[in-house]
């Protein structure tokens, strides 16, 4: 059964995949200043392998989205969170984050991560902190092959 959170003014946050308009998602993300160049095919593939959330206006049209990369047990990463400019300032971004953190399929998740360039205040209100995680490492490949000598053989 889909998870949905009804918001004031008739807005809804929902994980119902059949409602998700990937054309909207790709366009909304393409307009985001923090968005790296991503093809429509990459957007579709990345969203197919996650728990998606859409924010919908009272008429059912999409006005925001976000996705959760998760094992649904211990870890989750919140990403691609965006509300279209015409609907910002109405608390919809906050509602999207709250819906993600309250999702019943993620009740046992204890380790949440995200990356943000400009919304630290939004996420801090939910307990996210900026810090270097001890022992954590990241790799950003930008489509390049593994460095020579990195083979597992």
| 3-state SS, one letter per residue, for 12-72 | EEECCHHHCCHHHHHHHHHCCCCCCCCCHHHHHHHHHCCEEEEEECCCCCEEEEEEEEECC
Predicted local confidence at residue 128, as pLDDT: 86
Predicted local confidence at residue 129, as pLDDT: 84
Phi/psi zone of residue 62: left (φ > 0), alpha (ψ -120 to 50 degrees), beta?
beta
Task: For each of the domains in the chain, give its residue range(s) and CATH number, in order of start.
Answer: 4-124 (3.40.630.30)
Rounded-to-integer distance, Cα 117 and Cα 111, Å: 20
Predicted local confidence at residue 81, as pLDDT: 94
- For the chain of 153 residues, list the mean pLDDT of each consecutive stretch of 10: 96 97 94 76 93 98 98 94 95 96 95 85 87 64 60 49
């Amino acid at each position: 059964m889909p998870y949905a959170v009804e918001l004031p003014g008739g807005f809804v946050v929902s994980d119902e995949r059949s409602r998700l308009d990937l054309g909207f998602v790709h366009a909304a993300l393409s307009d985001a200043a923090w968005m790296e160049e991503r093809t429509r095919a990459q957007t579709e593939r990345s969203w197919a392998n996650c728990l998606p959330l859409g924010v919908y206006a009272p008429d059912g049209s999409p006005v925001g989205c976000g996705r959760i990369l998760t094992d649904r047990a211990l870890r989750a990463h919140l990403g691609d969170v965006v509300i279209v400019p015409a609907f910002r300032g109405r608390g919809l971004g906050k509602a999207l984050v709250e819906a993600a953190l309250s999702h019943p399929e993620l009740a046992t998740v204890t380790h949440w991560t995200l990356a943000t360039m400009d919304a630290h205040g939004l996420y801090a209100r939910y307990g996210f902190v900026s810090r270097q995680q001890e022992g954590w490492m990241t790799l950003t490949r930008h489509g390049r092959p593994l460095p020579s000598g990195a083979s597992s053989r």
